[in-house]
Amino acid sequence: MYKILTQPISRKYYFNDRNEISMKKNVLVIIISVSIIILGAAIAYYLIANKPQPQPPKKLETVRYATMGEVNYAEYEVSINTTGSVRAKNKLDIYSEVQGIYSPSGKEFREGVRFGKGEPMIVIDKREAELTLKTQKSELMNAIASLMADIKVDFPESFDKWNNYLSNFDIEKQVAELPKPSSDKEKYFLTVRNIYKLYFNIKNQEVRLSKYIISAPYSGTVAMSSIEPGALVRPGAKLGEFSGLNLFEVSLAIRSSDLKYIKVGSSVDIVHEDKKLEGKIVRISNRIDPATQSVNAYVSVRSSELKDGMYVTGVVSGNKVKDVYKLPRRALIDNREVYTVVDGKLDIESIELKYLGKDNAYITGLAAGTTVITEPMANVKLGTKIKRNEN
């Protein structure tokens, strides 16, 4: 009934069918993938297109706070700040005028030792000078004695006064003044006999003898000593320095531009280590230092706090400057301008600087009532809104 196929199916047809099915599947996958991508892109575009746009933040107006003041012209006393060195008012170098051995009889002449007024500071051995002086006195006494016979004969009216002078002559004491001659003839007679020459030689030696003891001219201390006990002192040799107590002069350097504000008699506060001392200008130099363009003003100060050679600060109360506005120095811009406030906003105006002190400046050039910034301002722009700092 049925015819049995005895031959196998061709493999060629089998593989062709299989490839065709596989290609159909690949095409279908590609189509689906592309569709998904297109759909996703469409959805993304839609979402982006319909996303609400962010609103830009509202710009805040910058406000700065500052210390302010209103221009009000007035008269001020200028304060000039400067520095200087202290020197003892009574200070001298001590030199020897005679020769001898330094032999202290009490206090030694050493640095820091204090002597009262009139107290012997340096005592030089004067025994040799004393003997020389006594020899000269004896020569004068012998010369007068040898003339007594001639005086009695030639000048009888003068005999008694010369006799009394000779009787009271004491070589242990200073030589008394010679009797005055009664006539020119008597004077010439005494001159020829060398009486006056001998007398003045003695008086000169008496003065020289007093220089073997150097006494303190005022109360003070030894600032420097260059001698030792037993040392030979020679004429002209510097023995040391002596400074008085409590009275000093301070040399202050004043700018030449500030000279018009000071005068002799101006009050000065001398400041050292938070201590304030009062003084007055006693003289002003007329020489300007070419290197510093300053002039030395000398201030007299009486104090036990100061020492010779100290470095101090001085505040001079100078003359008054009129019709100026005073503000802190740090508020100036290059010493030519200041910040002002106009309609609540930052502005800048030029000024004329009348005087520049250590802490304050005195200016003109602004209208009275102008609001001025009295503190330094950094990183600001003109037109910035400004409010007063109430603190």
pLDDT confidence of residue 22:
67
Q: What is the DSSP string of 204-229?
A: HHHHHHHTTEEE-SSSEEEEEE---T
pLDDT for 16 equals: 56
pLDDT for position 5: 44
CATH superfamily of 79-88+245-320: Efflux pump adaptor protein, beta barrel domain (2.40.30.170)
Beta partners for residue 239, in sequence order: none
Token pair in block for residue 177: 């003044």
Q: What is the pLDDT of residue 37?
A: 79
The reported pLDDT for the residue numbered 4 is: 45
Is the pLDDT reported for residue 132 higher than 80? yes
For residues 229-250, b (16+ Cβ closer than 10 Å) or e, as one string? eeeebeeeeebbbbbbbebbbb
Mean pLDDT, residues 112-128: 92
Percent with pLDDT over 70 in the chain = 89
Look at 145 and 33; give whichever has higher pLDDT.
Answer: 145
| Portions of the chain given CATH number 2.40.420.20 | 65-76+322-388
* Phi, psi torsion values for 107, nearest 5 degrees: -70, 145
Task: Enter the tokens of residue 132.
Answer: 């020389």
DSSP class of residue 90? S
pLDDT per position as a tens digit, 40-83: 777 776 667 676 666 666 556 678 889 999 999 999 988 888 99
Q: Where in the chain is the domain with CATH 2.40.30.170?
A: 79-88+245-320
Q: Is the pLDDT of residue 328 over 70?
A: yes
Q: How far apart are CA 208 and CA 128, in angstroms?
A: 12
In sequence order, what are the residues at sequence separation of 6 or more whose Cβ sits closer than 8 angstroms to the Cβ of residue 229? 102, 103, 104, 108
Provide the pLDDT for residue 301.
93
Amino acid type, 288 = I
Going by their DSSP bridges, the two strands 294-302 and 360-364 should be labelled as unpaired
**Residues 117 and 216 sit within 8 Å (Cβ to Cβ):** yes
Q: Does residue 3 have a pLDDT over 60?
A: no
β pairing state of 232-233 and 74-88: unpaired
Residue 231 — φ and ψ, nearest 5°?
Answer: -80, 150
The mean per-residue pLDDT over the stretch 4-33 comes to: 60
More confident position, 115 or 52 = 115
**So what's the pLDDT on residue 176?**
93
- Tokens of residue 258, six digits: 């500030």
pTM score > 0.75 for this model?
no
pLDDT value, residue 261: 87
Report how far residue 304's alpha carbon sits from residue 247's, in angstroms, rounded to the nearest whole number.
Answer: 8
Nearest to 93 by CA among 209, 252, 237: 237
What count of other Cβ atoms lies within 10 Å of the Cβ of residue 177? 9
Q: Rounded to whole angstroms, how far apart are CA atoms 318 and 269?
A: 11
Burial of 122 (0-12, 13-18, 19+ CB in 10 A): buried
Confidence of residue 9 (pLDDT cuts 50, 70, 90): very low
Closest CA to 326 of 362, 350, 358: 362
Which architecture does CATH list for 65-76+322-388? Answer: Beta Barrel (2.40)
Quick one: average pLDDT of 123-147? 93
- The average pLDDT across 305-311 equals 88
* Average pLDDT of the residues of the chain: 87
Rounded to the nearest 10 degrees, the angle between the axes of helix 184-192 and helix 195-210 is 70
> Which of 130-134, 137-141, 160-164, 258-262 is the least confident region?
258-262
Residue pLDDT, tens place only, 247-290? 999 999 998 888 888 899 999 999 988 888 999 999 999 999 89
Cβ atoms of residues 198 and 144 within 8 Å: no
Report the C-alpha gap between 67 and 101 in whole angstroms.
75
Q: Is the pLDDT of residue 15 over 70?
A: no
Check residue 33 and give its pLDDT: 75
pLDDT of residue 2: 42
Least trusted range by pLDDT, from 20-24, 228-232, 382-386:
20-24
DSSP 330: G
